[in-house]
Amino acid sequence: MQFNQPAGDNLFDESRVVGMPAQRVDGPLKVTGQAPYAYERHDVAEGQVVGYPVVSTIARGRITGMRTEVARQAPGVLDIVTTLDVGEMPMPSGMNAAPLFGGAEIWHYHQAVAVVVAESFEQARAAAALVEVDYDQTEGSYDLESAWQEMREDRSDPVSRVGDFESAYDAAEVTLDAEYRTPSHSHAMMEPHATIADWQDGKLTVWTSNQMVEWSRQALATTLEMAPEDVRLDSPYIGGGFGAKLFLRADAVLAALGARKVGRPVKVMLPRPMIMNNTTHRASTIQRIRIGAQSDGRITAIAHEAISHTLPGGSGENAVAQTRRFYAGENRLIVNHLAEMHLPEANAMRAPGEAAGLMALEIAMDEMAEKLGMDPVEFRAVNDTQVDPEDPERAYSDRHFVECLRQGAEAFGWDARNTAPGATRDGEWLIGYGVAGAYRDGPAMQSGARVRLQEGGRLVVETDMTDIGTGSYTILAQTVAETMGVGIDEVEVRLGDSAYPVSAGSGGQWGAASSTAGAYAACLALREQIAGRLGVNDPEAITLADGAVNTGEKQVTLASLAEDGELVAEDSMEFGDFRDGEHVVSTFAAHFVELGVHVGTGEIRLRRMLAACDAGRILNPITARSQVIGGMVMGVGAAMMEDMAIDTARGYFPAHDLAGYEVPVHMDIPAQEVTFLDTLDPVSTPLKAKGVGELGLCGVAAAVANAVYNATGVRVRSYPMTMDKYI
Ligand code: MOS
């Protein structure tokens, strides 16, 4: 069905199940080890053997020869597939900047060049080390700083220009012109990329760990030159993704090719040391921000010019995204440069664009507030907008950013902040408070589902939607329970199988909003069938509650309707142009941080964090809160430790594991508080919901940076804020 006008009154205005703090329905399976992840699917594909990747040790060039004879003689080896054997394979459209496998060309360090298949993991790994590769190495480009120096003044191809930035900036009473740097980030999800592949009668099944089942089914079919119908993907449980598993990756291609060669099911995991360079990362950025304001705090001119990097054909990091829409200001200039570099493929990582962009913009806002002598909460509130500043005809569907700031400040006790930096001490600690705003799109994508009313009145919903730890199982159970008038325990949710209707998948924080809308559409189709069975023409004339249908004249149980066999209905929700054409649908938050910086050692210790979020209807406050606190943890990592440093001579990321690439641990994270405004956005979806998963990360790092400034009086404009930058 089409969602092409704002949702009026509907089932969800007086929701009973949606919006309730239901515990994760998949929780018991997870904590008892009964939710198998891709690599541990012992229940499928009998006779599994193991493939181990061989990866390139140069960043750029061509393979001139490969020697596999010694490896083939190693114990347990069944066969070896090399990139030269298979030759170039078709590239899936728009998904990967470089081939995952096939051909002699080397695009980046740790590109897969062979897979060794053996009886055991240890045998495959040992034999992989015996494969010899000859390269003809060529120069590549790996240095973002020099690319920035070349492109910094080039404004010939702006993303957007509104009014006359230069004149307005020159005329402004207070101005800021500053540069900020964010490093490359790794998704660093717990579960490595992994796939088991099995061929039966020319058809391929892969059990894998993937956020976007249909995208990857299509991509795998294209790569292997197969009909998509002959490829099945199954990805019911995922140990984290953050964007690393949006696209088909080498594990699935290697497993499929290995399995075809040896005629047995093959499983391939990308070992942790390969993930940093074989898969994708968030590109590093350099960002210049100029803001001009009147002395009353109103922004009159704002420019955001950035650069990031990508392999030829990739998309880099869109760090200017939020600056186009977040704050008011009549004169605007947005420029986004992309430097082609031969590092591994840069691609989406949680809140791609805004996460890195707000790390800069929200420090700039703090700096401006100080120059203006304004409270940083107040400065942001003064520059709120209820319309798209680039196109004032487009209104925000539902925007309560100022309430986030005010309620957050109140709950946090922001008033207690000492406005003088470096002036508050608690024993050996300098104390600082920081605030930052957060902005992230609230997209929705077409999403389908099938619902079954089964014997006993139970409901089953099937969709290829994924749960990457986010709570999809739970909110879909809640949606079906609500729409069909049953308890959440009466609903079974089946996810992640490409045999089910195509969903929006998990990405871009559209998953929750889109997939619940799709399940709702399928439930409405089922309600129509039920009404028809009962001789009622208008499906809206029936009410469903407590496992029964009431027509006004009679009441029958759902169980009795399914007595003669199950009822099945399928539909998808499509989103009309009114949603993104006439309105801006976005999510907002304000983050508050208190921390201490040790006067002797310079160590930063967070003391408390608070997020006030505006993301439409909150479908489940437990799972939503978990998303936001997880995002806050990630933001602390971005602020203080995460750094995919680049070896600019050899063209790769030396960090190869979670010791070299540091992320926060429990000891780094203080008390976290999350509040939701829980408003209804009538334009977002029929459930009036939006995503929160990426919003939770946005702005966090800048709030930490601003608190460090408040504590120490040292302004750090380069992440991560390691001690060398502020002591
Ligand atoms: Mo997200 S970076 O689209 O998983």
DSSP state string for 74-89: STTEEEEEEHHHH---
Question: What is the model's pLDDT at position 16?
Answer: 85
Average pLDDT over every residue of 400-427: 98
pLDDT digits (tens, 9 = 90+) for 208-250: 999 999 999 999 999 999 999 999 999 999 999 999 999 999 9
Q: How far is the CA of 248 from the centre of ligand 1 (A)?
A: 13
Phi and psi at residue 309, in whole multiples of 5°? -130, 160
In this prediction, residue 627 has a pLDDT band, given cuts at 50, 70 and 90, of very high
Q: Is 243 in the pocket of ligand 1 (CB under 6 A)?
A: yes
Average pLDDT over every residue of 629-657: 96
Q: In ligand 1, which atom is closest to the CA atom of 694? A: 1
Q: In ligand 1, which atom is closest to the CA atom of 348? A: 2
12-21, 524-533, 589-598, range with the lowest pLDDT: 12-21
Q: How far is the CA of 243 from the centre of ligand 1 (A)?
A: 4
Q: Is 236 in the pocket of ligand 1 (CB under 6 A)?
A: no
Cα(725)–Cα(29) distance, integer angstroms: 45
Assess contact for 462 and 500: CB atoms under 8 A. Answer: yes
Assess contact for 241 and 211: CB atoms under 8 A. Answer: yes
Assess contact for 225 and 202: CB atoms under 8 A. Answer: no
Burial of 231 (0-12, 13-18, 19+ CB in 10 A): buried
| Nearest residue to 495 via CA among 246, 195, 233 | 233
pLDDT above 80 for 712: yes
For atom 4 of ligand 1, which residue has the closest CA?
A: 243
Q: Is 349 in the pocket of ligand 1 (CB under 6 A)?
A: yes
Tokens matching residue 132: 């010899």
Element (H, E) at 432: strand 429-441
pLDDT above 80 for 12: no
Indicate which residues carry an active-site annotation: 694
Tokens matching residue 453: 């009313």
| Nearest residue to 717 via CA among 612, 629, 639 | 639
pLDDT digits (tens, 9 = 90+) for 255-307: 999 999 999 999 999 999 999 999 999 999 999 999 999 999 999 999 999 99
Average pLDDT over every residue of 680-690: 96
Average pLDDT over every residue of 313-337: 96
Ranges of beta strands (E only) in 219-364 are 231-234, 266-269, 285-293, 299-310, 331-340
Question: What is the model's pLDDT at position 96?
Answer: 80
Largest CA distance in the chain: 81
Cα(539)–Cα(553) distance, integer angstroms: 14
Can you tell me the ipTM of this complex?
Answer: 0.97
Give the C-alpha distances (Å, rounded to integers) separating 566 from 59, 455, 539, 562: 57, 6, 19, 5
Q: How far is the CA of 345 from the centre of ligand 1 (A)?
A: 15
Assess contact for 452 and 529: CB atoms under 8 A. Answer: no
Cα(490)–Cα(593) distance, integer angstroms: 42
Q: Which residues pair with 461 in a beta bridge?
A: 451, 493
Q: How high is the mean pLDDT of the chain?
A: 96
Cα(651)–Cα(277) distance, integer angstroms: 10
Q: Is 507 in the pocket of ligand 1 (CB under 6 A)?
A: yes
What's at 588, amino acid-wise? F
Assess contact for 584 and 388: CB atoms under 8 A. Answer: yes
Question: What is the model's pLDDT at position 515?
Answer: 98
**Is the pTM of the predicted complex or chain greater than 0.90?**
yes
Assess contact for 295 and 265: CB atoms under 8 A. Answer: no
Question: What is the model's pLDDT at position 314?
Answer: 83
* SS3 category, 48: coil
Cα(193)–Cα(296) distance, integer angstroms: 52
Q: Is 246 in the pocket of ligand 1 (CB under 6 A)?
A: yes
Question: What is the model's pLDDT at position 13?
Answer: 74
* From 281, 350, 468, 627, mutation site for ligand 1 pocket: most ligand atoms within 8 A of C-beta: 350
Q: In ligand 1, which atom is closest to the CA atom of 352? A: 2
Q: How far is the CA of 363 from the centre of ligand 1 (A)?
A: 24
Give the C-alpha distances (Å, rounded to integers) separating 38 from 101, 191, 267, 354, 372: 21, 9, 9, 31, 54
Q: In ligand 1, which atom is closest to the CA atom of 468? A: 4
* SS3 category, 284: coil
Tokens matching residue 631: 């995002």
Question: What is the model's pLDDT at position 93?
Answer: 83
What's at 308, amino acid-wise? S
Q: In ligand 1, which atom is closest to the CA atom of 506? A: 4
Domains and CATH numbers, the chain: 2-35+444-575 (3.30.365.10), 389-442+585-725 (3.30.365.10)
Q: How far is the CA of 443 from the centre of ligand 1 (A)?
A: 12
Q: Is 508 in the pocket of ligand 1 (CB under 6 A)?
A: yes
Q: Is 352 in the pocket of ligand 1 (CB under 6 A)?
A: yes
Tokens matching residue 56: 């390139």
Q: How far is the CA of 508 from the centre of ligand 1 (A)?
A: 5
* From 209, 212, 246, mutation site for ligand 1 pocket: most ligand atoms within 8 A of C-beta: 246
Question: What is the model's pLDDT at position 703?
Answer: 98
SS percent in the chain: helix, strand, coil, step 5: 30, 30, 40
Cis, bond preceding 654 (omega within 30 deg of 0): no
Question: What is the model's pLDDT at position 15?
Answer: 76
pLDDT digits (tens, 9 = 90+) for 510-555: 999 999 999 999 999 999 999 999 999 999 999 999 999 999 999 9
Cα(124)–Cα(78) distance, integer angstroms: 9
Helices marked H in 373-503: 376-382, 401-412, 472-484
Cα(453)–Cα(669) distance, integer angstroms: 45
Question: What is the model's pLDDT at position 242?
Answer: 98
Q: Is 350 in the pocket of ligand 1 (CB under 6 A)?
A: yes
Phi and psi at residue 290, in whole multiples of 5°? -120, 130
Cα(48)–Cα(174) distance, integer angstroms: 67
